[in-house]
Amino acid sequence: MANFDSDEAAKIHRHLHAHMPSDPALRIKALESLAVEHGMVSPKTLDAWVEAYSEHIGPKRGALVVAKAWLEPEFKTHLLKDAASAIAVIGYEGHATGDLKAVENSENSHNLVVCTLCSCYPFGLLGISPPWYRSAAYRARVVREPRKVLTEFGVNVPASVAVHVWDSTAELRYLVIPQRPAGTDNWSQEALAAIVTRNSMIGTDRDLSLETV
């Protein structure tokens, strides 16, 4: 059996941290450089993944789906009936979207998504899940006290509005369709998508602002 020297392990740990940049962005860059240097990945592959998640996959895809649902009643009906099939029609099917359910906010109801077991998430539409979504605190509290958690996100849902909490799993994930703000009647799909936030598609945002446009 191999011997474990705690003092030596601690020494190695300190050495590694002493040679890593303190800034997270610089740490990522250092790791990227090492991966490329050792032939583990090519720079073109890294660039492609960054572009995919920042420009295409990220919340932008989900926002375009929401905007399309606002503009096209037939698409919204399809989305609410069979979300996986609806997004496949526009070429957005992919990772973690094969079993997808869309739920719609209204004047009388608000939808909120969580994954109590781990962090199942439709990242093919919303990109990488935020750290708070993966945290044990969010996963445990949002089921027990959803209104209080929403308040901490700055969302005050009136008592007259029902709050529905949806628990994602590996077999079923959710996309919240937020309410379309007033004053956007003549907006294009792209303009509408620009006001849809990632959090609104999870349910930790409700009243969308027009100030971002």
Q: Is residue 144 part of a domain?
A: yes
pLDDT of res. 43: 78
Tell me the C-alpha distance between 100 and 109, whole Å. Answer: 20
Q: pTM of whole model > 0.85?
A: no
User: Among this protein's residues, is 115 annotated catalytic?
Assistant: yes
| Strand-pair partners of 173 | 100
User: Among this protein's residues, is 209 annotated catalytic?
Assistant: no
Active-site option among 85, 118, 135, 188: 118
Question: Which of residues 192 and 119 earns the better pLDDT score?
Answer: 192
The pLDDT tens digits for 96-113 are 676 899 999 999 999 999
Domain co-membership, 131 together with 28: no
Average pLDDT, rounded, for the chain: 85
Q: Is residue 25 part of a domain?
A: yes
User: Among this protein's residues, is 135 annotated catalytic?
Assistant: no
**pLDDT of 9 over the 60 cut:** no
- For 26, the domain range is 6-41
User: Among this protein's residues, is 200 annotated catalytic?
Assistant: no
| Strand-pair partners of 177 | 104
Q: Is residue 13 part of a domain?
A: yes
The pLDDT tens digits for 117-148 are 988 899 889 988 888 999 999 999 999 999 99
